[in-house]
Amino acid sequence: MEDINLAAVIEAILFAAGEPLEEEKLCEAAAVTKSELDEAIEKLEEKYSSDDSALMLLRLENSYQLAAKEIYAPYIKAALEIKKNSVLSPAAMEALTIVAYNQPVTKGFVEQVRGVDSSGVVNSLVEKGLLAEAGRLDLPGRPIAYKTTDNFLRAFRLSSIKDLPELPDHKEQISFDELLENRENEEQQ
């Protein structure tokens, strides 16, 4: 690009988009190569790392988004009169965990793991933008499969679904029978 700062071009595109943009789309829009984009992203990350900037650059899988730093959230909420974010219920956290670690999954799968009807919980998570439809499975009834969204990644401060903590090994988990046995032993002592 002649006489135009590529980092500023990328910054302008991300600002105007207001949502995550994939690397390919950024390269296409700015007419640059992936390596040129990487250099521009590095410059932006350096620029936003200073305390003088209220912005930060989020990396979400193979996408980027401009966002305000968390410290400014109360001021932004006050200015936009946004109501306090609601806390997710334990049932919603369970369902979200099941989907995050096993995606894409159906409501039926979530219900089978949880052992209770989970339709309302899954629908609520879709409304909150934490889950989204991932298509239909080629099974009788063609059930809808669900997956986590970029909003999920942002809410839990993850760059990728691969950043989820590993589940404990089955060997490290205590079974219900072992728990009862331990409790009975404690009561006998």
Whether residue 112 lies inside any domain: the answer is yes
Task: Say if residue 1's pLDDT is above 50.
Answer: no
Residue 133: which pLDDT band, with cuts at 50, 70 and 90?
very high
Beta carbons within 8 Å of 150's beta carbon, 6+ residues apart: 19, 20, 60, 61, 63, 65
Do 28 and 98 lie in one domain? The reply is no
Task: Say if residue 61's pLDDT is above 80.
Answer: yes
Whether residue 181 lies inside any domain: the answer is no
Would you state the pLDDT for residue 96?
93
Do 94 and 154 lie in one domain? The reply is yes
Do 98 and 147 lie in one domain? The reply is yes
Q: Which range, of 24-38, 110-124, 166-180, averages the lowest pLDDT?
A: 166-180
Do 56 and 117 lie in one domain? The reply is no
Do 149 and 117 lie in one domain? The reply is yes
Q: How far apart are CA 114 and CA 118, in angstroms?
A: 8
Query: Across residues 76-92, what is the average pLDDT?
Result: 75
pTM of the model: 0.54
Total domain count, the chain: 2
108 or 173: whose pLDDT is higher? Answer: 108
Whether residue 115 lies inside any domain: the answer is yes
Whether residue 79 lies inside any domain: the answer is no
Residue 172: which pLDDT band, with cuts at 50, 70 and 90?
low
Task: Say if residue 166's pLDDT is above 90.
Answer: no
Whether residue 184 lies inside any domain: the answer is no
Q: Which of 134, 133, 121, 131 is nearest to 156 (CA)?
A: 131
Whether residue 188 lies inside any domain: the answer is no
Would you state the pLDDT for residue 99?
93
Q: How far apart are CA 14 and CA 41, in angstroms?
A: 11
Do 115 and 48 lie in one domain? The reply is no
Do 50 and 115 lie in one domain? The reply is no
Task: Say if residue 111's pLDDT is above 80.
Answer: yes
Query: Could you list the residue range(s) of the whole structural domain that residue 48 is in?
Result: 6-69
Whether residue 78 lies inside any domain: the answer is no
Domain of 122, CATH number, reads 1.10.10.10
Do 60 and 131 lie in one domain? The reply is no
Whether residue 116 lies inside any domain: the answer is yes
Q: Which of 104, 95, 80, 161 is nearest to 128 (CA)?
A: 95
Half-sphere exposure of 36 (CA within 13 A, CB side): 15
